[in-house]
Structure 1
């Protein structure tokens, strides 16, 4: 049996992985999947891929593309979630900010540099026609850190997945002042090159197994109730999320990759436009 260490965020997108672990789907394909949760998100997973503490990451597309451009020895093997990610733009509920326009020049809470919260802050600022050369960031590590820093005024706003943060909005901790959707598929599966070379058959079996689950995931009886209970969400929020989310078994298309690379270059977040052929892995 081949052991593969997989990392992902503690969010509803990754329930298919947990179901496959729990029902023995991976084991039936001679795979021992060791799951590690990363509350710190994409930046933390990119670091874990680099240092070899995980083999595979279910990671935000723009984050891993940037990190591969900067030398991460990994490849994108497949899109995992093909729909865009809906990022909520949050402020402390007791703050004076009521509209996105008031956030220009303010301090942005991010989990870490290179994370989705960091990169999406640039996309959001560019959409608002703000100066993206002088954005101010406060590293907060995770959602709990964002709560602490927004509430105490060390940071002013925070971008994170809309439905994951919805309970904090409902409780009156955060106020959401806007939404920013990614213009590309939101999650991909990235694998360390060393693992691809040594365990290509096992990786292929892993991907086939998860694809079989995601293909029918929405048809699982009462899956909305399961998601709501497991991730402490309101049922109507989960139903809305399910209606706008779809999983994928496709590879990242060249035009999608080009769009991401061009955007990162435009924002001066990477300076290498010629690495694209090294990013995706063809079976």
Structure 2
């Protein structure tokens, strides 16, 4: 039995992993795949990949590309969700900020530097024409930290996935000022280089299983009701999310895609320079 540790955010995007683990599909292939939730998001998972506490991570594309460029000894093996992620831009219920323009000089709550909430705040600032080097950040750890920092007026706005935070908008904890979609596929699967060297075939099997699950995921009976209950979402919100979300169909990730993303990240000042796109990826189906 091969032991592999996998991690991701505890959000609706990763429910297909829950189903395959529940059905012991990896065990049938002699793989002991153990899941861990990472509430701190991509920045926390990049750190876990670096120190070996996780082998496979479902991470935000922009976060892992930046971290591999900065020396993370991992490779992207495929896209997981190929549609953009919709980032909500939130302020506290009692905030005086009313529109996106009001936020130019405001303090941004981020889970950690290098995380999606950090990098997408830069993308949003670029989109608005603001000066990137004047952005002010406060590290808050996770979604709960974002809630606390906005409620206690320690930061002014916080960016997190639109549908995950929708219940907080509904109950008045947050006000959403705007949305900012990622200009690239949102989630990829990253694997530590050491694991790819030692357990290449096992990783292939893991990918085959999850791709088989996501291919038919939307056809599962009552999947909208199941997700709404599990993630405490309104049914109409989950139905909207399902409609706009597409998982990868098992195709390998290409150097062209990484190059296009790097070009955007350089223009957004998220990374300083473009690197050889082949250094970021591992084709699992050569």
TM-score w.r.t. length of structure 2: 0.97
CA distance in 1, matches of 2:139, 2:172: 23
CA distance in 2, matches of 1:38, 1:232: 19
Match of 2:3 in 1: 3
CA distance in 2, matches of 1:16, 1:49: 22
Query: Does residue 127 of the first structure (1) align with residue 127 of the second (2)?
Result: yes
Contact 1:110 1:118 in 2 (8 A): yes
TM-score w.r.t. length of structure 1: 0.98
CA RMSD between the two structures: 1.0
Once the two structures are superposed, residues 90-111 of structure 1 have per-residue CA deviations (whole angstroms, 9 ceiling, x without a partner) of 0001111111110001000000
Match of 2:270 in 1: 269
CA distance in 2, matches of 1:135, 1:59: 24
Once the two structures are superposed, residues 210-262 of structure 1 have per-residue CA deviations (whole angstroms, 9 ceiling, x without a partner) of 01100000001001111011111111100000000010022333332112212
Match of 1:181 in 2: 181
Once the two structures are superposed, residues 179-213 of structure 1 have per-residue CA deviations (whole angstroms, 9 ceiling, x without a partner) of 01111110000000000000001000000000110
CA distance in 1, matches of 2:256, 2:271: 18
Q: Which moved more, 1:249-258 or 1:206-215?
A: 249-258
> Displacement, 1:265?
2.0
Contact 1:70 1:270 in 2 (8 A): no
Aligned residues: 283
Structure 1 residue matching 2:57: 3-state secondary structure: strand
In the TM superposition, what are the counterparts of 1:171-250 in structure 2 within 5 Å? 171-248=171-248, 249-250=250-251
Contact 1:26 1:33 in 2 (8 A): yes
> Displacement, 1:24?
1.3
Q: Which runs of 5+ in 2 are unaligned?
A: none
